[in-house]
Amino acid sequence: MRISDLGEFGLIRNIQRLSFRKTSTTLIGIGDDAAALKVSPSKILLATTDMLLEEVHFDLSFTDFYSLGWKSAAVNLSDIAAMGGVPCHCLTALGIPNHITVERIEDFYRGFTALLKTHRTTLVGGDTCHSRKGMVISVTVLGEVEKKNLLSRAGAKPGDRVFVTGTLGDSAAGLEILKNRVKGQEGRGKGTEAKRLIAKHLRPVPRAAEGRAIARSGCASAMIDISDGLSSDLAHICEQSGVGAEIHSDRIPISPALMKLSGGLTMPVLHYALSGGEDYELLFTVPPGKIKRLQSLHIPVTEIGAVKRGKALMLVDDTGRKNTLQATGYDHFRRMKIT
């Protein structure tokens, strides 16, 4: 069977079925932002790994190595943030093709370290090897969280409200601008707004402080980071919580920069926000009685909908009409065709 017929998430379920499980120390295993492992009575170790492959996750024709290092750290730190934890240590495995110079690898580690340093996270090991087939990056980040602050994708209950930090769609729009630049279609890709969207794509800032504050306040029932896209990542929360959800298209936060450049993009703004992915914002659910506690944190969040009974994911448009929300975020093997 071709993997594209099964899809990334079907494949993950098969892997889960084949794996040996020793549950006593594994609080959360395969299928969340990070694994949660009990290492002492009060402390939980978080472990996450993310791979970045040339021509799949990045294109060396428009990504500098400093940004590549930064982003490789960011995507993993974001997973730790989504569990409510604090990152501590990390490991990098790099496959490096012949044509890449020492200077570029050093730039990678400059960008990588710059972000790690602000999170007091240390590089403690890894692997470097020659690659015959393009640049390969695999990063593992270890973190910690107190048992009471651990947040998983499971836990959303009907009636909970759905929140998101920051704005959505900037990263995907930034990527489109970068691709157009390579083709010589500079267009609107020059101004401050374009720079902002591009920066969001190349050097995302993980919502570490926000994730930690949300977890410590105890206001959230479930949390995930938006890496595949709002629709897919909301589907992950719903699937693992055994619930449905309804979100309002006119409440989805769009940045002024994205609004301003929307005319020059190939798709409607909502497409980038729902399916673009790589925003690395946090998506989380809050019981109505705890919304005041969330507001007291003074974090930039937007309420975009509510958790519902059943399994359906619905999108309410600005006329009040409900449509099924297709989880159209990134599936690596189906390529934007998850349903």
Of 52-111, binders to its own copies (CB under 8 A) are 53-57, 88-89, 91-96, 98, 100-103, 105-106, 109-110
In whole angstroms, the minimum distance from the beta carbon of 74 to its own copies comes to: 15
In whole angstroms, the minimum distance from the beta carbon of 326 to its own copies comes to: 20
**Residues in contact with its own copies, shown as a per-residue x/- string from 277 to 316 under the rule CB under 8 A:** ----------------------------------------
In whole angstroms, the minimum distance from the beta carbon of 98 to its own copies comes to: 7
In eight-state DSSP terms, residue 54 is B
Q: What radius of gyration do the chain's Cα atoms show?
A: 20
Among 113, 240, 262, 302, binds its own copies (CB under 8 A): 113
CB 51 within 8 A of CB 135: no
Among 60, 64, 140, 212, binds its own copies (CB under 8 A): 140
How far apart CA 147 and CA 165 sit, in angstroms, is 24
Q: Give the C-alpha distances (Å, rounded to integers) separating 113 from 73, 90, 117, 121, 169.
A: 8, 11, 6, 9, 27
Closer to its own copies at the Cβ: 98 or 192?
A: 98
Q: Which stretch binds its own copies (CB under 8 A): 27-35, 174-182, 241-249, 252-260?
A: 27-35
- The residues facing 44 across adjacent strands are 38, 145
Closer to its own copies at the Cβ: 34 or 313?
A: 34
Query: C-alpha 163: how far from its chain's center?
Result: 15
Closer to its own copies at the Cβ: 253 or 276?
A: 276
Question: What letters, b where the CB count within 10 A reaches 16 and e where it falls short, cover 231-267?
Answer: bbbbbbbbbbbebbbbbbbeebbbbebbebbbeebee
In whole angstroms, the minimum distance from the beta carbon of 147 to its own copies comes to: 14
Question: 309 — phi, psi (to 5°)?
Answer: -65, 160
CB 181 within 8 A of CB 247: no
The candidate with the shortest Cα–Cα distance to 237, out of 75, 33, 95, is: 33
In whole angstroms, the minimum distance from the beta carbon of 105 to its own copies comes to: 7
What is the footprint of its own copies within residues 117-136 (CB under 8 A)? 117, 120-134, 136
Among 86, 142, 150, 202, binds its own copies (CB under 8 A): 142
Closer to its own copies at the Cβ: 42 or 192?
A: 42
- The residues facing 90 across adjacent strands are 123, 141
Helix H segments across 218-290? 230-241, 256-261, 269-275
Q: Which stretch binds its own copies (CB under 8 A): 44-52, 166-174, 207-215, 305-313?
A: 44-52
Contacts of 209 by beta carbon, 8 Å cutoff, 6+ apart: none
Closer to its own copies at the Cβ: 136 or 314?
A: 136
Closer to its own copies at the Cβ: 121 or 249?
A: 121
In whole angstroms, the minimum distance from the beta carbon of 332 to its own copies comes to: 4
- By CB under 8 A, residue 337 contacts its own copies: no
- By CB under 8 A, residue 14 contacts its own copies: yes
